[in-house]
Amino acid sequence: MELVIQNILTGISLGSILLLIALGLAIIYGSMGVINMAHGEFAMLGAYGAWSLNHFFGLGTLASLVFIFFGVALLGLIVERSVIRYLYNRPLDTILATWGIGIMLQQTVRLLAGGELRYVEMPPLLTGTINLFGVSVSGYRVFIFLFVVALFAMTWLLMYRTKFGTKLRAVVQNRDIAMCFGINADRIYGLTFAYGAGLAGLAGALIAPLKSVSPEMGTTYVIDAFFVVVLGGVQSLFGTAASALLLGEMTAWLGFYWNDTIAKAVVLLVIIVLIRFRPQGLFSFKVRS
């Protein structure tokens, strides 16, 4: 029973990290239809932001989150205003443009911070363990889970219980009609892209104490994020959360019985099979046209 509880908690931990990475992409891809290949690099910038604020200014990871969110969000807004806004409804061009932006961000970080691995110190208050159901769990991983739950709830409220969210859903459903009612679609899209980029920055900053920080770290993140979003049904936030938890549990159990490499391969195979027979995702919903 202890092993069962431990694997379940490990799966929840992995799922919360996957959701943290994928939430920003779910907003950008699900709401705007933009396949943002630079999403991983936004997360990478968040990780380097946590390292630089700690290394040069002595700020801890938690204290730096606000600065990282607004800094990466501002960069996302600049990218959307200068490049993405001219490529809507051109998916192939968007993929190539954001892929190029990601490469430029990687090389810029490499030139400014160097290519060697960097490490971010874990918050001292969260370095211990917490006993849950008789199993010792890292306090920092519990914090990430609670943070992700709060972030998800805040994002859902923003999208479905605010005037901004109503405008965004109107623009997504019919941009021309929404603009006839006085909604500034360009402004809505710009702020949405900025918010998604800021969430990616938060993800990178929070994952940095668990992983080494490098210019190439975003490549893995963007792959995992797309897996979660596509499997969840693209336009469903709850689908994204459910698919993240599902993939986290699958990875934990398969890794327990075999190893992490085989677990990753099997999870990828399962995703391919599911998408083959249900391309709309597991938790998609129909929208009136």
Q: What is the pLDDT of residues 17-57, one digit of tens each?
A: 899 999 999 888 888 888 899 999 999 999 999 999 999 99
Residue range(s) defining the domain that contains residue 27: 2-277
d(CA 50, CA 202): 9
Contact between residue 208 and residue 51 where contact means Cβ atoms under 8 Å apart:
yes
Q: pLDDT, tens digit, for every residue of 243-256?
A: 999 999 988 888 88
Q: What is the 3-state secondary structure (H, E, C) of 26-39?
A: HHHHHHHCCCCCCH
Q: Is 41 inside a domain boundary?
A: yes
Q: Is 283 inside a domain boundary?
A: no
Q: Is 75 inside a domain boundary?
A: yes
Amino acid identity at 269: L
Q: Is 7 inside a domain boundary?
A: yes
H or E segment at 7? helix 2-32
For the chain, the domain total comes to 1
Q: Which residues contact 251 (CB under 8 A, 6 or more apart)?
A: 11, 14, 260, 263, 264, 267
The 3-state DSSP class for residue 131 equals strand
d(CA 239, CA 19): 10
Q: Is 200 inside a domain boundary?
A: yes
Token couple for 243: 């698919």
Q: Which of 104-108, 113-117, 275-279, 283-287 has the lowest mean pLDDT?
A: 283-287
Closest CA to 53 of 66, 40, 41, 43: 66
Distance in Å from the first CA to the final CA of the chain: 49
Q: Is 282 inside a domain boundary?
A: no
Q: pTM for the complete prediction?
A: 0.91
